[in-house]
Each structure stands twice: as C-alpha cells, then as structure tokens.
Structure 1
Amino acid sequence: MITKVLKTIEAYQMLSPDSAVVAGVSGGADSMALLHVLQSRRKDWPELKVTAAHVNHCLRGAEADRDEEHVRRYCQREGIPLEVLKIDVREEAAKRKLGLEACGRAVRYEFFRRLAGENGVIATAHTLSDLAETVLLHLTRGTGLKGLCGIPPVRENIVRPLIDCSRREIEDYCREHKIPYVTDSTNLEARYSRNKVRLQVLPALKEINPAFEEAVGRMAQSLREDDGCLCEEARELLGRAALEKGGWSCSVLSRGRKPVRIRAIRLLQGASRPEARHLEEIDRIILAGQGGVSVPGGLDFHANRGVLRTVPHKKRKIPQ
C-alpha cells in the first residue's frame, strides 16, 4: 500500500520534502494509517513537518472521549505533535443554524485551516472506498458531472494521499504495521444513508464486480479531466466578463454555455458549496441581468443593470 500512496502523492504533487502538514486524525483505521504513512515519510524527508489534529465533537459521549485519548496516547508514544479541539457540535450547529454533519465538517476544516496557516498543507484520510460511497450517494440524490467526480485528490491546500487505497488495503496495512485504531460504533448503524451504502449497497455491487471501487476511481479520474476543461473555460469566461469598476458583465456571462456558466458561479463561490437550486437561481439572474440570490454560508449574488456583483452573505440585504 505504501508504494501506491507514494505514487499518489507524486502524481498529484501533494507534498514537498519541506511541507508543513496538518493531518486530520479521528483515531479510526484510515486516519491512523495516514498519520503512520506521513510520519514514515520523514525518514526520507527529514524536513517534513507533521502535526496531528483531532476534533472531539462531543456527540458520542464516552466513546468520543475514548477516541481523543487514543489519539493522544499514540501521538505521545510516537513523538508526533498533536492539537486537539473539543467542541459541542450540537450546540454549535444550533448557533449556526446548520445540520450536525455540515456543522461538524465546517468546524473541522476551520480548525485545520487555522493550524495550517497560509503555507501549510491539510491531509485528510479519504479513501477509494469513501470516493465510491460518495459517488453512489450523489447518484441517489441526482447529480451532474461534478457529483460523479466524487472526492478530489487535491483541493486548494487539502490533499488526500489515501484516495487510491481501498478500506480493506488500509486495514491490512494497520494490521501489518501493528497500528492501533478505534472504531466509531455509529459506522455500523445502517440507519444512516452512507452506512447503508457501505454495509449493503457496495457489497452487492462487488458481487457483480469485485473491483467496483477501482472502476469508480477510474471513472472519477476521467470525469475530473473533463470537468477540468470546463472549469478552464469558466475561468476564461470570467476574465472576459470582468469589468474595470468591479463586477462582471451579465451579457458576456450569458454568452457562455450553461455548463460553463455554472462552473463560473462555482468559481466565484470559492470554498463554499452552493446547492444546485442556488446555482440555477444565480444563473437565472445572470440571464435576466437583474435580481438577487442569497446563498447561506457563501456569497450573495446581486445583478443590477446587467452587472453581477457578489457580497459576503448577510453583510447587506440583497434587493429582489
């Protein structure tokens, strides 16, 4: 497995010998294997800096505290710097008016970004199995090209060195290297959609094709290349539409094909993830040259007299 991970790191230029890496570590097999791989890489790259980051969401009581203690003990034993954030995500979600999953993700990445700073790299333990599950979940809800691409190996300063490795390979790696890990009991409950895909749907598909996860990985890679071409067109469209006094010409944007316009909107949104309905609403005001769309957690879009502008959400009221 280690050879496959190193090839992935090289292929996507995820790390350099002197990178400062913040590794998200939950204590599960995937993240413990990731931490072990990164720490092992320091034998050849002594300037590589690895910091483990653990978030206790306070959602699973004693089990969550057990996970935190497990990560603390392992990092202390291996001499790995560790940063821990303990936060009541249920309470935080109520404050932010977000679902538990969305809030947990937001809290984690805010913590990781704070630790990484401007020049650091964030490494997460997403696997090939996670990618296959994500694509299947997107299919159940209806999706487009972006959804079929699954989880990108690299996004901004976030890298996923295990993205070409299946969960079975990772568990075998942990056994081989005697890496201790904990199991989140909620991962075994089929009442959650992702768990149902993991526990019931994927095994059925693997009966048809034992290499189903690898097949999804190849498909996702191919579609990412196609999506990359459309994103490049979108960047060029935004460049042509940009106005000297700020904003973008709705007329110029409207000349782009819809898949390109939608990607241009995504590029303007940056790291946030607007829902499909918001993308459609923003596209409509671009075509009309007039109107406003408020995107929770992202930017608000305002078109007036044929000029599209963006402002941070809730900073000002968007006229309709």
Structure 2
Amino acid sequence: MRFDFVKCHGSGNDFPLIDARAIELDDAAWAGVARALADRRGPVGGDGLLLLTDGDKLHDFGMRMFNADGSEAETCLNGLRCVARAGFDALGIDRAEVRLKTSSAHAERDADLAPGVVSVRETAGPADLDVTHWPLIEAETGAGHEIVQRPIAMLPSRRSFTAVAMPNPHLVSFVETVDEAELVAVGEACEAAPEWLPNRANVSFVEQRGADLFVRTFERGVGLTDSCGSAMAASVFAACLTGRAEFGVELSVFNRGGLVRAQAESDGMVRLSGNATYDWTGSAEVDADRGIAGDVKVDRHFNDEIAAWAAVVDGIS
C-alpha cells in the first residue's frame, strides 16, 4: 500500500506524518506501517509515526502516535505540534482541541520561536503523580502511590527519581551531568517491561543550567532520542514540584534536538511552545505485514524551514 506523508520534526524529534482521516486500517496494520516508515535502517526513518485523525463533538481533530517498535504511545508533545500544524492547515483554523489516546490537549499557532520557524503552543495535562495508574508496583518497599525525589529499589541506579505521567509515564532524575551509559541502563531496565512496570516507562536525566533545563531521554519504544516533548513537560513539572523551578514561570528547555519554551502550573497543566518544522513531503510503498518500506518518492523539500531551524540549533550549540 502506498502512503503519502510529510517528514517533520518538533525540537529534533522526527516523524513521518500521515493524514489518516480517510484511511481505514486496524491497529496491527498501523503498527506495521510505523515499523516500516520509522525504521532508521530504512529509506525514511523517524522516532515514530504520527497520524492526523478525525475529530468528534469535543475535538477538532485527533492524533495517534506509534513508536518505532509499533507500540502506541498515549501522546507525544513534539509530535502533537506537527499534527496540530497539519490539522490547522487541513481545516483552515489557528487553534484546536485535539483528541489523544487517553486524554486531550489544546494547541494553537504561536509567534515564531525564531525567524522562519513555524511554532505551535500546546497545553497538556494535568500531570498525574499516582504511579498505580501506570502501574508501577514497589512491592519491595510497600511505598505509597507517589514517587517524588527518592530512589526506586528495582532500578540499576541509586539516584532519586520523580514519577510523572504526562499522560505517558516518565521517571525524571536531576543530575549534575548526564551519564548516558547510566541513562541507557535505567532505560533498558524499564524497557524490559518487568513485572513491577509492565507497561514500561520513559526515563530522563535532567541538568539544571541556571534557570533553564537540559533534558536527555531514553524513550519507551524508541531508545535514546534527541528530544521527547512529554519528557520535557514532565521534567519541567518535576522541577517545580521539587523546588528547582517556579510554577507559573516560563523557562527554556534544551535537548540534543534544540529547545522549547515551557511553563508548568500548580494545577498540573504544562504549556510548551516550540517548532513544528516540515522537512519534506513524499510517498512510499509499505508492506505493513513485514514492516518494510520502499520506493520512496520525494515531492518537495522545505529548504527555508530547514535552514531556519538549523540557525536555531547552531545558535545554542
């Protein structure tokens, strides 16, 4: 089956995005499409697959996000900005209520983050601190429903973590310097879906840099990624919760892919403003059963957008 898509990214978190409003496929087929198009060894590659889906009485349109391994995430805030841009363009609107897998989000066009950088502001939440919803089961300690700034005995690290669902689950640890080997070890322990964490979780190490944050994430279903929007939202909320930042105050959150502006509120809502950049549009043949993509045709490169975002990254590196 041939699919048209746009290759896009939010803060370096890159995806093929398909307008799926008129496409009828079951979840297993979409999982196969995601494995094919997001495969870094294949002709397209990405951190996952984004779908623009139909709206309903409460939502202007919907979004689905499949990780590179074919699993479906509750949300992806970097991807949401890209889907919102596609939805805005398709419907001729500038703001929308967007249906996610287990929640909703608000998105609206924002002033450009930098010259030529198309930007979207999104509001997601509320953050959920009850880990029994994940579930995360601390049988060894008999601890309560919340994990805020304390070690988790089952992890291969004695660092303190804060657990935040945004709405996908995140474990956040504030560190002096990111140790990627340690981050991978903790991430792989969660990725193994042990009995105490059957649905896995995302793991982030966060450096505080003055008033701002730098976030490095091992993403569930992906691995180490240059950026994860919900991880940045969870990290900002965790920073406020632990007194490292103030609720209601906007700060910059940096990552390997670039940056966003973020603000957490005491009611658990988090606002992110960042890019929704188009790199190119094209199409590809996909064998969903085998998870293989081929015969890619590129229709257009968005050279001005690519250059505008490159200037942002060069300015912070």
Q: Provide TM-score, normalisation by structure 1.
A: 0.28
Which protein is bigger by CA-based radius of gyration? 1
Q: Provide TM-score, normalisation by structure 2.
A: 0.28
Greater helix share, structure number: 1
Which of 1 and 2 has higher RCO (CA within 8 Å, sep 6+)?
2
